[in-house]
Chain A
Amino acid sequence: MHSLLLLFKAPLQAWGADSRFKTRSTNKEPTKSGVIGLVAAALGRSREESVADLAELEFAVRVDHPGSLMRDYHTARNWFGNKKNSQLSTRYYLSDAVFVVALSSPDRAQLETLEAALRRPVYPLYLGRRSCPANPNLVLGIKDGDGETVLRAQPWFAPTRVREQAYNPVSLQILRDARQGEPADTLRDTPVSFNPEYRQYTLRAVYRAEPVEVENPNGVEPQDDFMKEVTEA
């Protein structure tokens, strides 16, 4: 098993799994459909083309920094038409979030093709939504091992500000495709077709793996003023 690692560290990301119509939500972690859409864009596939080969990749995410939820009251208007009405929508984004994503496959050549495409993408790359351009250091490379194992071995990618405020050690959440018999949540984010006339997604079982503990030498020792006053009185 080999894993292609991607770092998602742009100012804004949006990963909706079930939004329809005028409220466009975001999940707290990247969705498989969003990431596969990103890879398909890098490969230059049109929306009508099949993504079945990409949907078969195993998917795992590590949450390096959850970021914060941002709500955008969004208006759009056609300035050239006769219609005067603004189209209103509410869009949610994750701001300043950092994720490491692993796409795993036994076929290393396939991952190498994807890696090359992501380094020289045909279409521009976005983290889940058109208004969220991807960061330049997106591709971390291919490692041997399944997604969860490889993610456990990665260093922590949080920004300095986050490190300095966090404790030592920190624990990072890992979510991955569930295997047979594991307790799982379901999410409708496995893409079947991105064809705009016939978009379709199927269910994916998501397993919350045991969080990984990472050393954080810049971190603060939990200092507690209230406890200190009692113990040092």
Chain B
Amino acid sequence: MTYFSRILLNPQRREARKLIASPQAMHAAVLASFPPDSPVSKDSRVLWRLDIQGASYTLYIQSPEEPDLRHLQESSGWESRPGETAPLGKLLNKLEKGQSWGFRFTGNPVKSLPVADGKRGKVVPHVTAEQQLGWLLHKAEQWGFTIAQDPETAQPLANVIGRNDQRFSRRNPHEDGALHSVTLRQAQFDGVLVITDVDLFKKSLLTGMGKGKAYGCGLLTLRNVLS
């Protein structure tokens, strides 16, 4: 069972500002919506995304277990707007090959530079909007969909609607907690996708796409293609 939730954050509140400013704090707050014995599974994981439109801050959470959003609402939400949760299963069952869906997706577009001996090289970010869109077009195939094309101009129907560099420091558990600075380049995409492989697409939806899943990347949300 997978659940989809949303909650509006109130940016006037100190705690909400902290969460909006720090993906690490937000990650911790999201995980605190689940009991400590929440089962860990390979097929599905907790994903979240923060959508900022004008003064409205919407946090979406997709999770294998139903979240308890009361603490988030108490510390950073609106008294009059409780979080909403609904099971995702029905929407998943509706998905079929060939369908078109409007989507929004925040990803961490990176590539690894080639090195000798077929090893994985240094991971570097895609920087420009063109590169980032190119990354999505290239990756879509591995995730079970393609980006729809405009019938007239043959341009892909997807846009980078927001770009954001997050910088924070993180303790590395493998190096005795040494502090490392992390740069996370995020790109948000809006567009229309066409499902090419339903099973693969569902799997990608549930496990998240690309890197940075703990820090607000990897969650793809669907909406009616007309809206």
Contact = CB atoms under 8 A, between A and B. Distances in A.
Interface stretch (B37-45, B80-88, B192-200): B80-88
A230 B227 contact: no
B123 to A, nearest CB: 30
Looking at chain A's contact residues, the main secondary structure is mixed
A194 interface: no
A85 B227 CA distance: 54
Contact of B91 (A166, A171, A230): A230
B56 A228 contact: no
B25 interface: no
Interface in B77-106: 80-81, 84, 86-88, 90-91, 93-94, 102, 104
A66 B222 CA distance: 32
A114 B194 CA distance: 66
Given A225-B102, A226-B60, A227-B6, A233 B90 contact: yes
Contacts of B221: 226
A171 B54 contact: no
B67 to A, nearest CB: 14
A138 to B, nearest CB: 26
A231 interface: yes
A186 B212 CA distance: 38
Given A167-B56, A173-B12, A227-B4, A222 B90 contact: no
Contact of A224 (B58, B80, B90): B58
A225 B12 contact: no
A225 B91 CA distance: 13
Looking at chain B's contact residues, the main secondary structure is strand
Interface string B112-138: 000000000000000000000000000
Interface residues of B, number: 27
Contacts of B81: 222
A160 to B, nearest CB: 16
A227 B8 CA distance: 12
A233 B94 contact: yes
Nearest to B102: A225
A217 interface: no
A230 B224 contact: no
Which of the four size classes fits the interface of chain A?
A: 10 to 19
A228 B90 contact: no
Contact of A211 (B12, B84, B91): B12
A233 B80 CA distance: 26
A224 B104 CA distance: 12
Given A173-B12, A230-B86, A231-B86, A224 B6 contact: yes
Contacts of B87: 230
A195 interface: no
Interface of B: 4, 6, 8, 10, 12, 54-56, 58, 60, 80-81, 84, 86-88, 90-91, 93-94, 102, 104, 221-224, 227
Interface of A: 66, 165-167, 169, 171, 173, 211, 222, 224-231, 233
13 contacts: A171-B10, A173-B12, A222-B81, A225-B102, A226-B60, A226-B221, A227-B4, A229-B91, A229-B222, A229-B224, A230-B86, A233-B91, A233-B93
